[in-house]
Structure 1
Amino acid sequence: MKLTPTTYVPSLRWRLGEYQALSRLSDAAKQSVVPFIFIPEPEYDFEEGQPKKTVQEQVQTFPKRYQQKWGKRPAWIDVHANIATASMADGRTPMSFVFEEIRSFGSRAVPITSLDAQSTVNSIVAGIAAVDKLGAGIRARLEHVMKPNFDARLMALISLIGLTREQIDLIIDLGAPNFQPYADFADGLIVAMENVSALSSYRSLVMIGTGFPQILAINKPGGHLPRHEWVFYKTLRTKLAGTGRVPNFGDYTIVHPEFTAQDMRMLKPAGKLVYTAGDTWNVRKGGAFRADPGQMHTHCDSIVKSGQFCGPHFSAGDEYIDLCAKNQAKPSNLTRWKENGISHHIMHVLTDLATPSAGP
């Protein structure tokens, strides 16, 4: 799909806090967001010793919810490799099921495949692209990009799914690498991308990555964590200015891309609030949430008084933070606080990208 230079690509795992944050965006903000939506595999139930849901149960609600939360707006949709070739109750694979269902209401979503996808997935994506005429996305991980045969593999896959570069959205998924030193990492990536033939011909070029830690090892009452992916992107953009194609910016919002299932019976998750601020995340952290949900009033008050608060009208998340700081909203639950953080983050990135010195 065609993107503007300030289009933002948040990668979302389509869990409650993530799609609610997406849904609550203003119409104006939605015009500048094209999400990369990843349908995850079912979570594991440690008490039962099996997944919490079947593949059918995991995927069957997606089309209706997607219509409700995002409608006909453009997006990319990918499916976790562990369930990509599984069968739904009617025999369809998850990707086939999803696209056949959302096609009924005029969805403009684009399917995703990757360089290490199974042949079955490539065939499904080729079939969807042939019917919808909306092209396809190819997700390439950092290890793919850095190999000397990257371009050859890329062209082979494009040919296999029956498309051309002009019909392909190339999405470079950096994951959560060590971005530092930023300049050196940017130089290495630029050299690798220079080996991609006719890079300017691709319909869109997106780069997704994160510096958000998998384990939030920060002591009470919190502190600031660097947004490595954003600082790196600004470095990369500066180096590419006038010399090469600048990719659109994408990230994993305030969520690490590698979801690790944990036995919640053994954990006492802390009450925390992640607030994107400039080149950092301002993290407010307390004790176990369930033992003291009222701590969120203190966390919110700290953000509001930090000098970094963007005001209650900045996003749906900011409005809730402001109300909670004033004890006019309940502490809710951890999912709602993830939603609030993501809601604010998306608007913060859109503001970053709309700033002439920040966008590509």
Structure 2
Amino acid sequence: MAVHGTVAAGFEGVREEFATFLAGEEHAPGAQLVVHRGAERVVDLWSEGVTGETLLGVFSSTKGAAYLVTALLVQDGVLELDRTVASYWPDFAAEGKGGITLRELLAHRAGVIGLDAGFTPDEVGDDRAIAARLAGQRPFWQPGRFFGYHGLVIGALVGEVVLRATGRTLREWYEERIRAPYGLDLWLGLPESEEPRFLTTLPMLPTPEQRAELDAAEASPYSLGGIAFNVHAPGNGELYDFPNSRTVRANGQASAGGIGSARGLAGMYAAAAFGLDGRGPLLKPDTAAEFARIHSEGKDLVSGQPQAFGLGFHTYGLHYRSVGAGAFGHSGAAGSAAFADPRQGYSYAYTRRRYAFPGGSAPENTRLLWAVVRALR
């Protein structure tokens, strides 16, 4: 399968690894890979089926944009991590949630992962509707004591805090402070004019062995994982299909509804950590370090798997041995991964059109990242 795009001198090995993966991929994923060394884009590759400008559903990689807005507002002194969420949003205090701090919410320790009755299909794509319903929901565990991934709702919860504190939506802050100044192809709310560049996400095509593994791992719709991903709700659709809805794309749901490219994701993290287009970094080193610092580590109650979070962001240094401590970013269900690694001086983004087995950051990221780090060294 042909590989398109460019790499800077010294990064030929990254292109070779990308081509090797694609040669063994029976069902073409339509993949994009972009790396910045500091502000410089040194890898810009894509496979057949997409281009460098194609826009894809990036699922939970969207969360990185929401957390970056939050970090900027904390840095500006507008938000305080150790103030309670209810001090910004009084309705949130219902059902014993009055003591939950913004720090605990960002660290996935609030326990407000979903609704007892589930969200309707219209609600789950609308952050204001999600926040309104969750204000009265009791936590699913003692807040602060445990942690679990708030996969479909964390963007709505954090976004409501932003709105109550500033009078402006998270999406407005993102557009003004991050996306528009750098011309990033990562959208919270895709304009109609950009729709021709969007390609729908394709479903996973597991092998019989993978299908058996998925079936064996399937949990009850009423488990914590089922509730967190709204599986128990009537009319719940397939997760891969979430960004294929024009309503979801237009709303810019901040947990999983973002639309973008690897260029957009890598550019956002380059702007955050190193600066881009002649501007300095968005985040001061202390802010980046605090948001990357591990706040939750161990068994995630939602996934049942080992996991680690900073303030919202995945702490990528614990996910991949090739990545430096203090790296921060987020992965997405279809296989995307995007982050900044301040210690090693690069940002990375990988996207794919076809949903990857088993979901979450695609397995090929491990080898692609080793190729990037070898090139950097």
Which category of TM-score, normalised to the shorter sequence, fits these structures?
under 0.3
* Larger radius of gyration between Structure 1 and Structure 2: 1
TM-score by length of structure 2 reads 0.24
TM-score by length of structure 1 reads 0.25
